[in-house]
Amino acid sequence: MSIKNEFSKHANEYNNHNIIQQIIAKSLVRELKTKPKKILELGCGSGQIFSNITWPIDFYKAIDFSEEMCQLHPQNSSVEVKCFDFDTEEFLNEIKNDTYDIVLSSSALQWSKDLDKIVKKLSLITNEINAVLFTSNTFKTIQTITNTKSPILEESEIKKAFSNHFICEFETIMYKLEFENKKDLFNYIKKSGVSGGSNSLDFKNAKKLYKEYNLNYLEFEVIFVKTVSKV
């Protein structure tokens, strides 16, 4: 199952299984130094970032590759929600003549197939990006047990992509989410949208993981990115 289909499949119950995403989206907005009026958001989901914006805005363009997620996002006369994969030329053509006070993104850009290209294009339409991305150290113990590689970008790859085009401030944080039992823990992995459909385990590895995973928590490593100026 593709990552896109994974998100779409669980769209209606996503808000019940994305606790970490909600925490970091709230933190991202709270850390903004200004109150931008014209905003582009990449990977808007069902509105985690938008729901934390409390000031008046002139225009908000929200982008997500899941049609189901886009339908869940709040809409009004100042909000335009569009379904695009941000890795495609179609999306880049959509924004090439735009200008924004800021570009925001929470728990989405780690899926990019060419993050450097996206950041470069964004540098042409905004002076400021504030983003938070999961890193490949998310679910690190699971990867160790199953001998699998994370589909998410490594911290160093993320830093390099942004630093090629902006002077940045970075902060990396490890979150631990505790569960009462294994069933709840594994159900969260399936429905949270962090693991990615391309990294689904076969039956043998899933059985091994269920047997050997002895922690009562899941690990989530995220990196907060704030651009300071262009290179």
DSSP letters, 60-128, are EEEEES-HHHHHHS---TTEEEEE--TTSHHHHHHHTT--BSEEEEES-GGG-S-HHHHHHHHTTTBS-
Using 50, 70 and 90 to split pLDDT, how confident is the model at 9?
very low
Give strand pairing partners of 31. Answer: none
pLDDT at 15 over 50: no
Residue 71's CB is within 10 A of a number of other CB atoms, namely 14
Residue whose C-alpha is closest to residue 144's, from 206, 209, 77, 200? 209
Residue 37 is which amino acid? K
Specify the pLDDT at position 95: 97
Whether 208 maps to a domain, the answer reads no
Whether 56 maps to a domain, the answer reads yes
**Residues of the domain holding 80:** 3-136+151-176+222-230
Specify the pLDDT at position 17: 62
Whether 146 maps to a domain, the answer reads no
Asked if 220 and 189 touch (Cβ cutoff 8 Å), the reply is no
Whether 217 maps to a domain, the answer reads no
Whether 190 maps to a domain, the answer reads no
CATH number at residue 69: 3.40.50.150
Whether 107 maps to a domain, the answer reads yes
pLDDT at 187 over 50: yes
Whether 42 maps to a domain, the answer reads yes
Using 50, 70 and 90 to split pLDDT, how confident is the model at 200?
low
pLDDT at 197 over 90: no
Share of the chain above pLDDT 90, in %: 73
Mean per-residue pLDDT of the chain: 88
Whether 207 maps to a domain, the answer reads no
Specify the pLDDT at position 94: 96
The domain tally of the chain equals 1
pLDDT at 64 over 50: yes
pTM recorded for the entire structure = 0.88
Asked if 146 and 209 touch (Cβ cutoff 8 Å), the reply is yes
Specify the pLDDT at position 198: 38
Count H helices and E strands in the chain, helices first. 9, 7
| Residue 165 token pair | 């085009």
Quick: pLDDT tens for 84-118: 999 999 999 999 999 999 999 999 999 999 999 99
Place of tokens 């850009």: 109
pLDDT at 12 over 70: no
Q: What's the rounded Cα separation, in Å, for the pair 170 and 219?
A: 19
Using 50, 70 and 90 to split pLDDT, how confident is the model at 168?
very high
